[in-house]
A and B are shown apart, each in its own frame.
Chain A
Amino acid sequence: MSDILSTPHFETALARRAAPAGLGFAVREMTDRGMIDLRGLASDRKFMTAVKGVLGTDLPKAPRSAVAWGDIKVLWLSPDQWLVLCPRARAVALAAELTAALAGIHSQVTNVSDMRTVLRLEGANLRTTLAKGTSTDLHAAEVKPGFVKRLKFAEVGALINIVEDQIFELYVFRSQADYVWDFLIAIGGSAAELHLFGKQSPA
């Protein structure tokens, strides 16, 4: 695996797409993200201890939360599923470490670094703009830095992670990355900007 990833033939999904200009937010593809899908029982102490031994951090148990430790970040996906983020170059080795540490424990480790494309969005009006693509309430109090949720975005399955108040990361399947990129360009232009109806009193 590792030598395939390092060959010049490997290309990220959006490598040939130019950075869009004139949008209300900045968008770029995160090309150096390694992702490992981890499944196991949160109630199994052996599993949790073994994972902590490798990652250095406890897995987040609270729904829709994330924890970070050094260059590793873990996103909660389900009571028994997590997405471990790490530098791409580390993914193969880290997955092997996890597999070794979890030998004999009911669990599953899969390197899914090529499964999803990560789009990093930065801007002040992200919540309002992204609301055009999803029914998830991005203005809810829960949607603060550290928030993670699978959602339907532009009618396709996606995963959102609020990194900072104005920095969001949107995970979409690689095969749909082009489409979502186009969708973001369509909803992000100044002509598509959302305004309140009627005459607004000056703030």
Chain B
Amino acid sequence: MLTLVCPVCGAHGDETDFHAGGQAHIRRPASHDPEHISDQEQADYLFTRINPKGLHFERWRCDRGCGKWFHAARDTVTLEFKAYYGITELPPPDIMAQARGAWADYFKARQKAAAKAGAKS
């Protein structure tokens, strides 16, 4: 059984006190660029999920505590939670650096986009 700690209220409990919300950081393409979405993008948004062996990023809800959603980084091999962070945040830098494969690509793209937006403003 998984045991979690809610980063919002600090409630400590097992997975029955929480609700798993699936993969984290999924962005709906229509909310960013509604004019130009391909069928492939929409299909990816709906159906394609990362299924890594090792570090994974998920959404969880503190069901029997404060009722807030949060993000968690979990190792799918050891089932160990590596970090908890806010629902609007990216993982802590040291955890993000440990991401491999599709997750590493994703975070690289996010950071690149953020740097581009920062340079513009």
Interface residues of chain A, those whose CB is within 8 Å of chain B, are 63-64, 77-79, 81, 135-136, 149-152, 157
Q: What residues of chain B lie closer than 8 Å to A63, measured between beta carbons?
A: 9-11, 65-66
Report Cα–Cα, A74/B58, bound state, in Å: 33
Report Cα–Cα, A81/B9, bound state, in Å: 12
Given A64-B11, A135-B13, A136-B13, also A149-B68 (CB < 8 A): no
Could you tell me if A79 and B17 are in contact, using CB atoms closer than 8 angstroms?
A: no
Given A77-B66, A78-B66, A78-B68, also A152-B17 (CB < 8 A): yes
Minimum distance in angstroms from B94 CB to a CB of chain A: 26
Minimum distance in angstroms from A82 CB to a CB of chain B: 12
Interface size on B, residues (CB 8 A): 14
Could you tell me if B67 and A149 are in contact, using CB atoms closer than 8 angstroms?
A: no
Complex: chain B residue closest to A152, CB-CB: B64
Given A63-B11, A79-B8, also A136-B66 (CB < 8 A): no
Q: What residues of chain A lie closer than 8 Å to B11, measured between beta carbons?
A: 63-64, 149
Report Cα–Cα, A195/B10, bound state, in Å: 32
Interface residues as binary, B2-17 with A (CB distance below 8 Å gives 1, 0 otherwise): 0000001111011011
Interface of A, helix, strand, loop or mixed by DSSP: strand
Q: What residues of chain B lie closer than 8 Å to A136, measured between beta carbons?
A: 13, 17, 64
Minimum distance in angstroms from B3 CB to a CB of chain A: 10
Minimum distance in angstroms from B8 CB to a CB of chain A: 6
Q: What residues of chain B lie closer than 8 Å to A77, measured between beta carbons?
A: 66-67
Report Cα–Cα, A78/B64, bound state, in Å: 10
Minimum distance in angstroms from B13 CB to a CB of chain A: 7
Minimum distance in angstroms from A136 CB to a CB of chain B: 7
Q: List B59-84 residues whose CB lies under 8 Å from chain A.
A: 63-68
Report Cα–Cα, A31/B65, bound state, in Å: 26
Complex: chain B residue closest to A63, CB-CB: B9
Could you tell me if B64 and A149 are in contact, using CB atoms closer than 8 angstroms?
A: yes
Q: List B26-77 residues whose CB lies under 8 Å from chain A.
A: 63-68
Q: What residues of chain A lie closer than 8 Å to B66, measured between beta carbons?
A: 63, 77-79
Could you tell me if B67 and A78 are in contact, using CB atoms closer than 8 angstroms?
A: yes
Could you tell me if B68 and A135 are in contact, using CB atoms closer than 8 angstroms?
A: no
Q: What residues of chain A lie closer than 8 Å to B65, measured between beta carbons?
A: 63-64, 78, 149-150
Report Cα–Cα, A128/B11, bound state, in Å: 20
Report Cα–Cα, A152/B17, bound state, in Å: 7
Given A63-B10, A64-B9, A149-B11, also A79-B16 (CB < 8 A): no
